[in-house]
Amino acid sequence: MGQAAVSVVTLAVVRAPVSLPLTLVVALVKGVLVVFALATAAAYLTLLERKIAARIQLRIGPNRVGPGGLLQPAADGVKLIFKEKAAPAGRDRVLFQIAPALAAGAALFAFATIPINRTICVGGHGGAGPLSVSCAGGYLLHWDLANVNIGLLYILAVTSMGVYAIFLGGWSSNSKYSLLGALRSSAQLISYEMAVSFAIVGPILLAGTLNLEQMVHQQQGLWFIFLQPLGFLLYFTAAFAETNRLPFDLPEAEGELGAGYHTEFAGMRFGLFFFAEYINMVTVCSIATVLFLGGWLAPVWFLPSWLGPIWFVAKAGLLLFVMMWVRWTFPRLRYDRLMQFGWKVLLPLGLANIVVTAVFVAVR
Amino acid sequence: MLSAYIPLLVFLAIVLAFGVGITAASNLLGPRHPTKAKGLPYECGIVPSASARRRFAVTFYLTAMLFIVFDVEAVFLYPWAVLLRSTLHLFGLIEMLVFIALLAVGLAYVWRKGALEWD
């Protein structure tokens, strides 16, 4: 017992005392970089999605703006921001303004604790070993915005803010389609949030930490997807519902609800909701990468391990591709089936997965 | 260490600035020619028949209540899951199995009562 406790302690990253101004500057630079990277990623994911959809439907897809359509996202952005913002007269003016910004803000804010590489030592000298990092006289560079020991809990808390944006957006529009879309969406999001909460207990049990960087270090040698195949499936399935993607895109179900909760939003207000959806996709795929696919670890041992961020992006990109592939291949579920799938299939399976994993961990 | 959270505050400020900036830009830019028809909520082209502030199915409310119950129970799982490997071992396992059994009984009860049905 004592031995196990010690091994957990040595995992902790030893933090050198760093001056406050330096911390602020680094956080500012990283924050701007993350916002810029996520915004670019979201913009180009929309293009990628249209290209993939076109391929699947034997079309060409956007190819007029720039070489091969590569400037399409920029053209879309300019168009959205200069469009007339038609809005229903009976709307709640304050909430109608806040909802799109909240959606995008919550989506961006959630990314803060996801590490895309191991902590490295800049300047100074110190052994950056696999399990602990010391850095005498230099600066410890974390490859996430904030290396906090409740990283996973933080992400769960922040992503659940997205429900508020969707519900306030739908309700404040004073439109029946929007209200129905918002109601469906909130019920769906909270139901599948529970499936997510149960699915990620498996990796926590195996790793014994909520810090995402240590979670990846624990997967050195064996990724958790091999120990938690069911947990991964449960998480990834629920992630489709959490991001309102087909086959769970009932909130938007354009055949029956117009566009659901964002029917009445025009121009960049709609753009912010759209933006939030794609950022959320990036976030859930990154979490799946960190929890189950070994984060920045090289896929096979002979590949160079210093290319961490590349491996991370490759793994998350693969999951993003699967999400798009599924969207253009599967039909939409009926709403009652969707809710029953969450409560009667994912939830009991999640509980069973926790029990089996816990017995495995405690008895081993 | 609390200082690890300082970057989060900086990031919160950046994200707020981003949200406020885009919202303000989209309010300032673009033409504005409101007409009576543009101000109507979208209802497939017909004139809206009644206000959207109306009653909705009670099942949504029920789902929210069930969510609160089960999600609070999920919160109890996290500290246990973190400590099981290093400190709790068999005793913690048995304790939590009892808790999860109670959770499962609750789910079975809700299921039998028909609270998960949508009709």
Structure confidence by residue, pLDDT tens digits, A289-335: 999 998 888 888 777 877 888 999 999 999 999 999 998 888 888 88
Q: Is the pLDDT of residue A83 over 60?
A: yes
Mean pLDDT of B28-38: 83
Write down the pLDDT at residue A253.
Answer: 66
Quote the CA–CA distance of A148 and A340 in Å, as a whole number: 36
The three-class DSSP label of residue A136 is strand
Considering chain B, what is the average pLDDT of its residues?
86
Q: What are phi and psi of A302, to 5 degrees?
A: -85, -5
Pair of tokens at residue A287? 């979490």
User: Which pLDDT band, with edges at 50, 70 and 90, does B1 fall under?
Assistant: low
Least CA distance to B37: which residue of chain A? A88
**Amino acid A133: pLDDT:** 58
% of residues, chain A, pLDDT over 90: 35
User: Looking at residue A255, what is its pLDDT?
Assistant: 66
What separation in angstroms does the CA of A126 have from each of A14, A132, A137, A328, B41? 11, 10, 9, 49, 63
Going by the DSSP 8-state scheme, the letter that residue A305 receives in this structure is G
pLDDT of amino acid A130: 46
CB distance B7–A344 less than 8 Å? no
pLDDT band of A8, cuts 50, 70, 90: very low
> In this complex, which of A101, A198, A208 lies closest to B85 when CB atoms are compared?
A208
Residue A11 vs residues A6, A118, A200, A361, B37: alpha-carbon distances, Å: 9, 13, 21, 18, 63
Cα distance between residue A18 and residue B61, in whole Å: 49
**How does A171-205 read in b/e, with b if 16+ C-beta sit within 10 Å?**
bbbbbbbbbbbbbbbbbbbbbbbbbbbbbbbbbbb
Task: Find out whether A226 and A342 touch, Cβ atoms under 8 Å.
Answer: no
The answer to whether A223 and A297 have CB atoms below 8 angstroms apart is yes
| Distance of alpha carbon A123 from the chain centroid | 32
Q: How confident is the model at residue A18 (pLDDT cuts 50, 70, 90)?
A: low
Query: What does chain B come to in residues?
Result: 119
Contacts of B21 in chain A (CB under 8 A): none
pLDDT beyond 70 at A132: no
Of A206, A264, A344, the CB nearest to B42: A264
Question: How much is the pLDDT for A136?
Answer: 66
Residue A195 near residue A350, CB atoms below 8 Å: yes
> What average pLDDT does the segment A219-236 reach?
91
Is residue A67 predicted with pLDDT exceeding 90? Answer: no
Asked if A362 lies within 8 A of B39 by C-beta distance, the reply is no
Per-residue pLDDT tens digits for B93-108: 998 899 999 989 999 9
Q: Which residue has the higher pLDDT, A34 or A122?
A: A34
Whole-prediction pTM? 0.89
Structure tokens at A191: 């139901």
Collect all residues of chain B within an 8 Å Cβ-Cβ radius of residue A85. Answer: 26-27, 30, 32
- Mean pLDDT is lowest, of A101-110, A252-261, B62-71, B83-92, for A252-261
B58 pLDDT exceeds 50?
Answer: yes
Q: What mean pLDDT is reported for chain A?
A: 84
Q: How many CB atoms lie within 10 A of CB A167?
A: 21
Residues 6+ apart with CB under 8 A from A214: A11, A12, A207
Task: Please report, for chain B, the start and end positions of each structural domain, with discontinuous segments joined by +.
Answer: 2-113
B36 three-state secondary structure: coil
**Terminal C-alpha separation, chain A:** 12
| Phi, psi at A141, each rounded to 5° | -95, 110
pLDDT in tens, A19-29: 788 888 888 99
Do A362 and B7 lie within an 8 Å CB cutoff? no
Q: Is the per-residue pLDDT at A170 higher than 50?
A: yes
Residue A285: pLDDT band with limits 50, 70, 90: very high
A81, A250, A274: best mutation site toward chain B, by most B Cβ within 10 Å?
Answer: A81
| Cα separation, A67 vs A215, whole angstroms | 41
Fold of B2-113: Methane Monooxygenase Hydroxylase; Chain G, domain 1 (1.20.58)
Could B60 and A186 be called an inter-chain contact, meaning their C-beta atoms sit closer than 8 Å?
Answer: yes
CA dist A5 and A73 (Å) reads 51
Chain A residues with beta carbon closer than 8 angstroms to that of B32: 84-85
Please report which residue ranges of chain A form alpha helices under DSSP H: 2-11, 20-56, 72-81, 93-109, 151-159, 162-172, 176-199, 201-207, 212-217, 224-227, 229-242, 254-257, 267-292, 308-327, 335-340, 347-363
Q: Which candidate, A203, A247, A202, A251, places its Cα nearest to that of A341?
A: A247
User: Pairing state of beta strands A139-141 and A120-122?
Assistant: antiparallel
Q: What is the CA radius of gyration of chain B?
A: 25
Say what angle helices A267-292 and A72-81 make with each other, to 10 degrees: 130
pLDDT for residue A6 is more than 60: no
Query: Does the pLDDT of residue A7 top 60, yes or no?
Result: no
**CA atoms lying within 13 Å on the CB side of residue A56:** 15
In this prediction, residue A89 carries a pLDDT of: 82
